[in-house]
Amino acid sequence: MFDLHTHSIFSDGDLLPSEMVRRISAHGNKGFAITDHADFSNISSILSNLLKLKDFEYEIEFLVGVEITHVPPRLIGRAVELAWKEGAEIVVVHGETIAEPVAEGTNASALQEEINILAHPGLIREEDAEKARENGIHLEISARKGHSLTNGHVARIAEKFSCKLVINTDMHSPSDIINDSIARKIIVGAGIRNAEEVLGNNEKLFRKLKK
């Protein structure tokens, strides 16, 4: 599995990046992305710290980036622009999950910007799904408690509008790590017929961003 949404101690995760590498590798996974929660107060510091890791070789590959989180919809574009400027390899936006009080309009604003993944987009609207498809932005099927409650809705909307899906853990602690086998079950549980296609999307996006 290539998990494209995880968190380290540089936001609210429990693990150092090196610990993440070891534990994720031990589960048999091939790569991941560190996407720490970020807003204007810490985008630069997160990426400055994470990019130091790129000077060393680790046992599995990883990307460094951010998850733009609870930024007001009208400011998301500026946050995304700053993240790319500061060297992000992947940019995720924290979508309108029903598990948190995310500002209405976050999904719509995020999908106008140069992002890679809209995380846990909740009860995403049809017009927003169309925008995701048009802009080549992946929608997330989430393995995380709370966020996963709307996986079925996301899957149905994605199928209707031919949106690309990825599956991610939103990992914060070691117990959140999953492998291909569990990922397949979550995908199928969301009502998606082709689990391998979704897992393949994770790898394709990872490889595209890693080049």
- In the chain, domain spans: 2-210
Tell whether domain 2-210 is in CATH 3.20.20.100. no
What are the φ/ψ torsions at residue 91 (nearest 5 degrees)? -130, 125
Provide the pLDDT for residue 211: 80
In the chain, pLDDT over 70 holds for what percent of residues?
100
Pairing of strands 90-94, 138-142: unpaired
C-alpha–C-alpha distance, residues 92 and 156, integer Å: 21
**What does the pLDDT look like over 26-54, one tens digit per residue?**
999 999 999 999 999 999 999 999 999 99
* Contact assessment for residue 210 and residue 64, using Cβ atoms and an 8 Å cutoff: no
0.85 surpassed by pTM: yes
C-alpha–C-alpha distance, residues 66 and 10, integer Å: 10
Provide the pLDDT for residue 125: 98
**What does the pLDDT look like over 81-98, one tens digit per residue?**
999 999 999 999 999 999
What are the φ/ψ torsions at residue 188 (nearest 5 degrees)? -65, -40
